[in-house]
Amino acid sequence: MFDGERRREADERRWAAERRHWLRLSRTVKAPADRRQRLERASLSAASVQAARNLYTTSADREVRAARRAKQWSVIATVRREQAAALFKDAGSPVPPPDDLLALHREAASAALRAIATVARQAELVGGTCCAACRADDGKTYRIADELRVPRLPHAGCPRGLCGCDWFVATETPRRRRRTAPSEAIAESATASTLPGGGDAPAVLAVDGVPGAIDAADVFAGPIDDPADPGPVAT
């Protein structure tokens, strides 16, 4: 009898923690508040945990569909990367990851590249230190169109399964390289303008409302020649 009570208490503690986890993630993807509240009030059980997990995944999918219609690539990159990581951990972090989790991770990487493509033709890969493949690619610059055709992330054989490498905007300044993550620095409606008075000053790009100097030669105004996406990249 006492062993049964202890097992039940342990189960309830685990269910409570797991349900909080999925409901917390659900808020990040705008899950309906009334559904979250109903699940918070529900009796603790494995079924209520599964319901909270389902609420998160369906809300994430809905958020991505809306972002895709609006060409909000950085939103898609953030949602899919977090979703892949959460489901990967929930599955026990298997290596190699299942195909469905690889697809989510690759969708995140593709969206990050499309966000960067609003201002440049190339992107810099900032690699992790977990394996030789991740270290070898760290700091290298690749053509976005090529990466969209044959994605390299996550690196095959990485011991982490879903490696921590990511695509970044890389701009050269006279003193140092400035790296800016697409989820933080690429405004979906980024617009370029020149400084008043002409001259040789670089173009000024409004990124998330904050202007920053970039090389005019790096500005990408044309479509990505990606067969999977016949439409132009929004600029």
Specify if 202 maps to a domain. no
Whether residues 74 and 172 fall in one domain: yes
Whether residues 75 and 178 fall in one domain: yes
Whether residues 123 and 170 fall in one domain: yes
Quote the CA–CA distance of 216 and 201 in Å, as a whole number.
Answer: 9
Residue ending a domain, among 147, 166, 183, is 183
Q: Which two tokens stand for residue 105?
A: 């991770």
Average pLDDT over every residue of 188-209: 36
Specify if 205 maps to a domain. no
Reply yes or no on whether the pLDDT at 207 is more than 80: no
Length of the chain: 235
- Give the list of residues 6+ apart from residue 67 with CB closer than 8 angstroms, or none: 73, 75, 76, 79
Tell me the residue range of the domain where 11 lies: 1-69
Reply yes or no on whether the pLDDT at 115 is more than 60: yes
**Number of domains into which the chain is organized:** 2
- Give the list of residues 6+ apart from residue 88 with CB closer than 8 angstroms, or none: 94, 97, 101, 161, 162
Q: Answer with the residue of higher pLDDT: 1 or 22.
A: 22
Residue ending a domain, among 54, 69, 84, is 69
Whether residues 166 and 80 fall in one domain: yes
Specify if 224 maps to a domain. no
Q: What residues pair up with 212 in beta bridges, in sequence order?
A: 205
Whether residues 44 and 80 fall in one domain: no
One-character DSSP codes across 100-126: HHHHHHHHHHHHHHHHHTTT-SEEEEE
Res 181: pLDDT: 54
Res 212: pLDDT: 34
Reply yes or no on whether the pLDDT at 211 is more than 80: no
Q: What is the enclosing helix (H) or strand (E) of 20?
A: helix 2-28
Whether residues 179 and 100 fall in one domain: yes
Average pLDDT over every residue of 168-180: 55
Maximum pairwise Cα distance, the chain: 84
Reply yes or no on whether the pLDDT at 229 is more than 60: no
Res 99: pLDDT: 95
Whether residues 147 and 93 fall in one domain: yes
Reply yes or no on whether the pLDDT at 29 is more than 90: yes
Specify if 130 maps to a domain. yes
Whether residues 104 and 164 fall in one domain: yes
- Give pTM, 2 decimals: 0.72
Whether residues 89 and 171 fall in one domain: yes
